[in-house]
Amino acid sequence: MTNTISALPGQERYVAPIEETPLRAVDAVDTDAPATSMWADAWRTLRKNPLFIIAALVILFIAFVAVFPRVFTNLDPNYCTLDNSRGAATAGHPFGFDLQGCDIYARVIYGTRTSLTVGIATTLIVILLGGIIGAIAGFFGGWIDSILSRIVDIFYAVPLLLGAIVVLQMFRSSTSIWKIILVMAMFGWVSIARIARSSVLEAKNLEFNTASTALGSTPMRNLFRHIIPNALAPVLVVGTTSLASYIVLEATLSFLGLGMPSGNVSWGGDISTAQTMLRTQPMILFYPSAALAITALAFIMLGDAVRDALDPKSRTE
């Protein structure tokens, strides 16, 4: 006890009562906590996000409309008589008629299918094409990366809208909905490729790849089993956010008269024909525009929610 004399006030020897500071086992495993993976965590975050719930409900509804338009209307959107031109809303025709005498309600309902098909198909192609090319560039590096990256740069230098206009002009005669999907995919894959390349590069340098190699794994096995699953999240985030922009772009192209071939009902096309009557009958313009805006907004909200869930760093709180 001789040492305590030299201690300054407030610095005397102190030992906490053991009952107040119980010891726990070193590094005990918390067996009660629920299992979480990145995806399970993301799903849990999503489930609680009101933004996601609203967006998901709206999208589910839109998808239902697109798949089963007949549930909502039994009118043919392409059956138009000039007798009904600019007709007001009547029973069975809640939105009235456009200039050609087509039922606006039916056209809005059937337009859903076009917009959704174009948006989803383009996104899938873009993710696949961009993802594979980006992954190859990031994984192999060296001259393969150099060549692929320059190709990406070249496509990046062409403005999407301008490129789409030029290419679509060349295929004016084609009547397939796929021409517009392919054109948008052709200029859209580059941004995904860049993201995929950088996230593969990042995942490639993580230690678990070295660990796997030392366990006997081959580089290709590492790519498919470890690198791609770990590089997927940012690609998916950009994919979902850009879905909305493809829907809007399709409408823009259709508005410019380059989009959907005649016979296909498209919101963009309808907006285009309605613009001449903006001052006299704005409602003809309003309905397809509103449908487009709601759909695009729902997908943008979904994309935001997915980004927040998969990449908590980007959240601003």
Q: How far apart, in whole angstroms, are the C-alpha atoms of residue 117 and residue 180?
A: 11
In the complex with other proteins, the residue whose CB is nearer, 86 or 225, is 225
Cβ at position 197, least distance to other proteins in Å: 19
| 316 DSSP assignment | -
In the complex with other proteins, the residue whose CB is nearer, 213 or 273, is 213
In the complex with other proteins, the residue whose CB is nearer, 17 or 263, is 17
Q: How many CB atoms lie within 10 A of CB 151?
A: 14
How many residues are given for the chain? 317
Burial of 57 from C-beta contacts in 10 A (0-12 / 13-18 / 19+): exposed
Cβ at position 7, least distance to other proteins in Å: 6
Full DSSP string of 192-248: HHHHHHHHHHHHHTSHHHHHHHHHT--HHHHIIIIIHHHHHHHHHHHHHHHHHHHHH
In the complex with other proteins, the residue whose CB is nearer, 91 or 214, is 214
In the complex with other proteins, the residue whose CB is nearer, 165 or 202, is 202
Considering all CA atoms of the chain, what is the largest pairwise distance in Å, rounded to the nearest integer? Answer: 111
- 8 Å CB contact between 231 and 136: no
In the complex with other proteins, the residue whose CB is nearer, 222 or 241, is 222
Cβ at position 35, least distance to other proteins in Å: 5
Cβ at position 204, least distance to other proteins in Å: 12
Q: How far apart, in whole angstroms, are the C-alpha atoms of residue 121 and residue 132?
A: 17
Cβ at position 16, least distance to other proteins in Å: 5
Cβ at position 310, least distance to other proteins in Å: 12
Type of residue at 242: S
Within 8 A by CB and 6+ apart from 276, the residues are 99
In the complex with other proteins, the residue whose CB is nearer, 37 or 74, is 37
Cβ at position 17, least distance to other proteins in Å: 9
Which residue bears the tokens 């809007």? 248
Q: How far apart, in whole angstroms, are the C-alpha atoms of residue 269 and residue 304?
A: 28
Cβ at position 235, least distance to other proteins in Å: 14
SS3 93: strand
In the complex with other proteins, the residue whose CB is nearer, 43 or 79, is 43
- 8 Å CB contact between 93 and 80: no
Euclidean distance between the first and final Cα of the chain, in Å?
Answer: 54
In the complex with other proteins, the residue whose CB is nearer, 10 or 142, is 10
Cβ at position 2, least distance to other proteins in Å: 10
Please report, as ranges, the residues that interact with other proteins according to CB under 8 A: 3-16, 18, 20-21, 23-24, 26-27, 29-31, 33, 35-39, 206-208, 210-217, 221, 226, 229-230
